[in-house]
């Protein structure tokens, strides 16, 4: 089976698959920059959509239509890219064959890579996607069977995030911030001893800027790039990242505004202490001094699998998902049902009512309600005047394996003869579920805790905690 993933950045379109050795790798295509991917033309009409169609066409031209396609979305939003990906796959191949398509947000793709490697377990993680255009920070809650994005923030300066940093360095060397200039800068950083020289120069300039800011860390065409220029540009990177991280943490757990001083407020420190680790990905995450800024601020960095370029982490994780080697964990995989009573031909019958189909429940998302024919069902909880309705058993079911296991039995409150409700279920960010009763009038919905839903019915159907 040929399964591929596509990640469209502001500069490169990266296509990856799982190789014969079982590890993800970039797909080699004509015109691709080694280790980067296909360049995205600057100012191309259509932007990301056009780049996606062009990258897909390039792949199909060399390797044919894939059996499965996963597209990485820069933020946890599946509304736009999925349609564009379908257009690309259907419109660029004459046979009309469209591969099964799914869209995965960057944090889900990155955590799929880490979960596959065993380096991300249950807990909270901050995923920082540090690219040329922006720094996007997502606070993610990882549970046994799902990954929920609890808060996110984006810092995108007008001249770009990583792009602004590179432009400042190249300007001092008299070079334009174009593809050629960036390659020169990348070559300088790759020279033997360059990283050590930069670290020593930045450390010295930090302790005594008047004396060491003028120290040359790179030399290009007879002109120097100094430690002072790098420090100023790094300070801008760090400030933008810190701002986005604070906003994302505030979104995940609202807290008082941060203190104006450089030191973190008690609320920030508490939010940071609740995070299991920070993951830095994207092209700008290659810059080691920025990572040291994070560790110096007390963030525990989660290492990427050995040898993984941070710019390729998202597309590698998506390639594992495409190949079926990693679970994206962005939806609850099973259906949720309840026991129901109906009167058929004057005789009572026990039935199982489907509340939520498999793959529809998103951690932290809205409640999903039972429907029939595209309309929400109206249910009654119990006999008129009863203090509590009949016991209702909530079950989860694997539609493929036909395995069904109980979760919890609830005693829902009864009501009047004509009282009717919409019945739904929602999954909280922490992975626990709630059964939802929403009155047909303007009354407030009632929620009943179900605890953690089972996440693997295939291997341990008897080990479900009730």
Determine the pLDDT at residue 277: 92
Determine the pLDDT at residue 92: 43
Query: Cα-Cα-Cα-Cα dihedral of 378, 384, 386, 389, to 10°?
Result: -20
| pLDDT at residue 38 greater than cutoff 60 | yes
| pLDDT at residue 464 greater than cutoff 80 | no
More confident position, 327 or 417: 327
Token pair listed for 323? 């190949």
What is the distance between the terminal CA atoms of the chain, rounded to a whole angstrom? Answer: 39
| pLDDT at residue 268 greater than cutoff 60 | no
Q: Region 227-235: what's the mean pLDDT?
A: 91
Determine the pLDDT at residue 221: 74
Q: Region 142-158: what's the mean pLDDT?
A: 86
pLDDT tens-place string over residues 346-370: 666 677 889 998 888 888 888 999 9
Determine the pLDDT at residue 84: 45
Strand stretches in 201-345, DSSP E: 216-220, 223-226, 277-281, 335-344
pLDDT tens-place string over residues 171-213: 888 888 887 888 888 888 878 888 888 889 888 988 998 898 8
Task: State the DSSP string of 87-137.
Answer: HHHHHT-TT-----EEEEEHHHHHHHHHHHHT---SEEEEEEEE-SS-EEE
Determine the pLDDT at residue 389: 59
Determine the pLDDT at residue 320: 97
Query: What's the pTM value of the predicted model, to 2 decimals?
Result: 0.78
Range from 297-311, 357-371, 403-417, 440-454 carrying the lowest mean pLDDT: 403-417
DSSP letter at 367 equals -
More confident position, 56 or 264: 56
Token pair listed for 224? 């120097």
CB atoms within 10 A of CB 84: 20
| pLDDT at residue 91 greater than cutoff 80 | no
Question: In what helix (H) or strand (E) does residue 233 lie, and over which residues does it extend?
Answer: helix 227-252
More confident position, 322 or 267: 322
Determine the pLDDT at residue 358: 85
User: Closest Cα partner for 115 from 333, 360, 321, 334?
Assistant: 321
Determine the pLDDT at residue 314: 97
Instruction: Tally the residues of the chain.
Output: 466
Determine the pLDDT at residue 80: 40
Give me the phi and psi of 7, to 5 degrees please.
-125, 115
Q: Region 366-390: what's the mean pLDDT?
A: 77
Confidence category of residue 307, pLDDT binned at 50, 70, 90: confident
Determine the pLDDT at residue 400: 65
Token pair listed for 291? 């990572």
Q: Assign 150 to helix, strand or coil.
A: strand
Mean pLDDT of the chain: 82
Determine the pLDDT at residue 270: 56
Q: Region 61-69: what's the mean pLDDT?
A: 91
**Sequence-ordered list of residues with C-beta below 8 angstroms from that of 459, at least 6 positions apart, any chain:** none
Q: How far apart are CA 98 and CA 2, in angstroms?
A: 13
HSE (side-chain half, CA atoms, 13 Å) at 164: 19
Determine the pLDDT at residue 271: 56
Determine the pLDDT at residue 412: 82
Q: Region 459-465: what's the mean pLDDT?
A: 36
Q: Region 47-54: what's the mean pLDDT?
A: 83
Q: Assign 48 to helix, strand or coil.
A: helix
| pLDDT at residue 458 greater than cutoff 60 | no
Q: Is 220 left (phi over 0), alpha (psi -120 to 50) or beta?
A: beta
């Amino acid at each position: 089976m040929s399964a591929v993933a596509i990640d469209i950045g502001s500069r490169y379109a990266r296509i990856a698959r799982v190789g014969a050795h079982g590890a993800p790798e970039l797909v080699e295509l004509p015109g691709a920059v080694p280790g980067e991917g296909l360049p995205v033309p600057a100012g191309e009409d259509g932007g990301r959509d056009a780049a996606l169609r062009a990258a897909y066409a390039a792949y199909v031209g060399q390797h044919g239509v894939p059996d499965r396609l996963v597209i990485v979305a820069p933020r946890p939003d599946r509304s736009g890219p999925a349609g564009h990906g379908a257009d690309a796959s259907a419109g660029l191949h004459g046979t009309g064959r469209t591969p099964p398509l799914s869209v995965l947000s960057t944090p889900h793709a990155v955590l799929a890579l880490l979960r596959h490697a065993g380096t991300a377990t249950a807990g909270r993680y901050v995923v920082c996607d540090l690219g040329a255009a922006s720094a996007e920070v997502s606070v993610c809650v990882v549970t046994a069977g799902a990954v929920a994005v609890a808060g996110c923030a984006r810092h995108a300066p007008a001249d770009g995030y990583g792009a602004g940093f590179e432009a400042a360095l190249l300007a001092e060397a008299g070079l334009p911030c174009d593809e050629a200039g960036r390659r020169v800068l990348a070559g300088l950083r790759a020279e033997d001893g360059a990283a050590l020289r930069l670290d020593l120069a930045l450390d010295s300039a930090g302790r005594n800027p008047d004396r060491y800011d003028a120290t040359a860390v790179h030399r290009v065409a007879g002109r120097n790039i100094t430690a002072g220029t790098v420090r100023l540009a790094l300070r801008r990177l760090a400030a933008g990242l810190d701002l986005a991280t604070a906003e994302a943490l505030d979104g995940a757990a609202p807290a008082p505004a941060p203190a104006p001083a450089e030191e973190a407020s008690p609320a920030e420190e508490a939010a940071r202490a609740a995070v299991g680790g920070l993951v830095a990905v994207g092209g700008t995450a290659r810059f080691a001094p920025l990572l040291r800024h994070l560790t110096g601020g007390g963030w525990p960095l989660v290492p990427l699998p050995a040898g993984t370029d941070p710019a390729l982490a998202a597309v590698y994780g998506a390639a594992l998902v495409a190949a079926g080697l990693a679970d994206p964990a962005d939806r609850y995989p099973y259906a949720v049902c309840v026991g129901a009573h109906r009167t058929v031909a004057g005789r009572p019958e026990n039935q199982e009512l489907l509340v939520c189909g498999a793959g529809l429940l998103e951690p932290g998302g809205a409640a999903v309600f039972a429907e029939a024919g595209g309309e929400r069902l109206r249910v009654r909880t119990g006999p008129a005047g009863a203090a509590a309705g009949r016991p209702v058993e909530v079950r989860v079911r694997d539609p493929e394996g036909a395995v069904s296991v109980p979760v919890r039995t609830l005693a829902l409150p009864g009501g009047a003869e004509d009282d009717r409700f919409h019945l739904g279920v929602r999954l909280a960010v922490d992975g626990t579920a709630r059964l939802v009763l929403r009155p047909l009038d303007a009354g407030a919905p009632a929620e009943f805790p179900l605890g953690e839903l089972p996440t693997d019915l295939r291997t341990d159907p008897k080990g479900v905690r009730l």
